[in-house]
């Protein structure tokens, strides 16, 4: 399996098992968020994004950087009082995702000589309440030998 695929699968496993309240719906398949039931929130869509590679040293050593796109969706029930707002729910989910990714930053990339993960971008997507959305980009940096991926 490629490092690219391994990194995405590892991130999905980590997000499905993160600290409660964990996302109810985590997938790689695109979905229509407007058709989700209230009980399916928070929802997360994980996809492999761009990747850049460069020669690192003579002898076939290379470096790669994979962007993993994590799109999160939250929903507020709109009641006043002690219920979290859309913004609070979005910020809470972003924080929990980042904490989950930091628990094992090497993504268990078997065969990679070195790997690390870091969140580089968080973009809030404008949606009409009660829905909230964001795009979080996590970069997975790794070193490998040519022909090994």
Residue 49 maps to a domain: yes
Identify the sign of the CA torsion 23, 70, 94, 127.
negative
Query: How does pLDDT run across 92-107, given as a tens digit for each residue?
Result: 999 999 999 998 887 7
CA quadruple 5, 6, 11, 12: dihedral, nearest 10 = 70
Query: Token pair 């869509």 is at which residue?
Result: 45
Mean pLDDT for the stretch of residues 101-117 = 77
Q: 33-53 as b/e, with b when 16 or more CB fall inside 10 Å? A: beebeeeebbbbbbebeebee
d(CA 117, CA 111): 16
Residue 138 maps to a domain: no
pLDDT at 21: 75
Cβ–Cβ under 8 Å, residues 25 and 40: yes
Domain extent, residue 40, equals 3-124
Query: How does pLDDT run across 43-82, given as a tens digit for each residue?
Result: 999 999 988 888 766 666 778 899 999 999 999 876 666 5
The number of domains in the chain is: 1
Residue 46 maps to a domain: yes
Mean pLDDT for the stretch of residues 3-11 = 85
């Amino acid at each position: 399996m490629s490092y690219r695929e391994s990194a995405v699968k590892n991130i999905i496993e980590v997000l499905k098992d993160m600290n409660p309240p964990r996302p109810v719906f985590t997938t790689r398949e695109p979905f229509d968020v407007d058709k989700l039931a209230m009980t399916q929130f928070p929802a997360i869509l994980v996809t492999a994004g761009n990747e850049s590679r460069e020669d690192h040293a003579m002898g076939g050593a290379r470096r790669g950087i994979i962007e993993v796109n994590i799109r999160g969706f939250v929903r507020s029930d709109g009641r006043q009082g002690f219920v979290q707002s859309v913004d609070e729910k979005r910020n809470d989910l972003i924080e929990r995702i980042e904490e989950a990714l930091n628990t094992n930053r090497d993504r268990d990339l078997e065969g990679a000589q070195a790997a690390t993960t870091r969140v580089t971008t968080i973009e809030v997507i404008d949606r009409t309440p009660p829905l909230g959305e964001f795009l979080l980009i996590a970069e997975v940096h790794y070193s490998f030998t040519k022909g090994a991926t």
